[in-house]
C-alpha cells in the first residue's frame, strides 16, 4: 500500500467517526442520553488516531517532503492544511470540555458537545475533501518513488511511537462497535 493510500484509508475512518458523532449529536439534541464511554472512545480516537497519528504523518512527513519537492509552505495549500489541523484541535478541546461537563451533569455541557462536534465534522469533511482531491494529487505528482518508500518507514515509526502495537486494530474494532450502535 502506498503512503498516500494509507492516508486516504485513514480519512475513511475519520469520516466514519464524524458520521457516528453526527448521530450522537442528533440523539443529544432530541434530549436522549448518550453513554459517556462512547464519548470517551471517540475523544481518544480523535486525539490519538486522528491527531497524533494521522496529522502527525502529514505534518512530520508528508508536508516536509512536499516542501522539499518545491511546494512552498506559506501561501499555499500546506499552510491552509496546517491551519485547519489547529482549528480541529481547538474543536476537540471544546468537545473534551463538553464531555467532562456531561460526566458531572454540568449545565450547557450538551450544547458544548453539539456545537464542537458539528464544527469539527464540517471542518474535517471539507479538509479531507481538499486533501484527497488537491493536496494528495499534488503529492503523487511531485514525490519520487524513492521518497515515497522512505516515507513508508517514517509512517511505521510514527505508528509505533504514537499508537503502539495492536492499538491500531483496537481502534478499528471500537469504531466498528460504535458503528453498530449508532449507524445500524
Binding site for Fe ion (CB under 5 A): 58, 81, 131
Shortest spacing between CB 82 and Fe ion, in angstroms = 8
Q: Which is nearer to Fe ion, 64 or 101 (CB)?
A: 64
- Is the separation of the CB atoms in 39 and 62 below 8 Å? no
Q: Which is nearer to Fe ion, 58 or 112 (CB)?
A: 58
Question: Count of CB atoms within 10 A of residue 103's CB?
Answer: 12
Transcribe 137-157 into DSSP letters. HHHHHH--HHHHHHHHHHHHH
All cell numbers assigned to 18: 464524524
Classify 34 in phi/psi space as left (phi over 0), alpha (psi -120 to 50) or beta: beta
Q: Which is nearer to Fe ion, 4 or 81 (CB)?
A: 81
Shortest spacing between CB 54 and Fe ion, in angstroms = 6
Question: Count of CB atoms within 10 A of residue 166's CB?
Answer: 8
Shortest spacing between CB 3 and Fe ion, in angstroms = 12
Shortest spacing between CB 180 and Fe ion, in angstroms = 25
Q: Which is nearer to Fe ion, 23 or 125 (CB)?
A: 125
Amino acid at each position: 500500500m502506498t503512503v498516500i493510500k494509507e492516508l486516504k484509508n485513514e480519512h475513511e475512518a475519520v469520516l466514519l467517526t464524524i458520521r457516528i458523532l453526527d448521530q450522537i449529536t442528533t440523539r443529544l439534541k432530541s434530549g436522549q442520553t448518550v453513554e459517556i464511554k462512547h464519548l470517551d472512545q471517540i475523544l481518544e480516537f480523535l486525539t490519538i488516531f486522528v491527531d497524533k497519528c494521522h496529522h502527525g504523518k502529514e505534518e512530520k512527513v508528508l508536508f516536509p517532503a512536499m516542501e522539499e519537492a518545491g511546494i512552498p509552505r506559506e501561501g499555499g495549500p500546506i499552510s491552509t492544511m496546517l491551519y485547519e489541523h489547529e482549528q480541529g484541535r481547538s474543536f476537540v478541546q471544546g468537545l473534551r470540555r463538553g464531555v467532562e461537563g456531561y460526566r458531572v451533569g454540568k449545565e450547557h455541557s450538551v450544547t458544548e458537545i453539539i456545537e464542537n462536534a458539528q464544527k469539527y465534522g464540517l471542518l474535517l469533511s471539507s479538509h479531507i475533501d481538499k486533501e484527497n482531491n488537491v493536496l494528495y494529487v499534488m503529492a503523487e505528482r511531485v514525490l519520487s518513488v524513492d521518497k515515497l518508500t522512505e516515507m513508508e518507514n517514517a509512517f511505521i515509526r510514527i505508528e509505533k511511537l504514537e499508537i503502539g502495537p495492536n492499538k491500531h486494530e483496537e481502534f478499528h474494532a471500537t469504531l466498528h462497535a460504535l458503528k453498530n450502535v449508532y449507524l445500524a
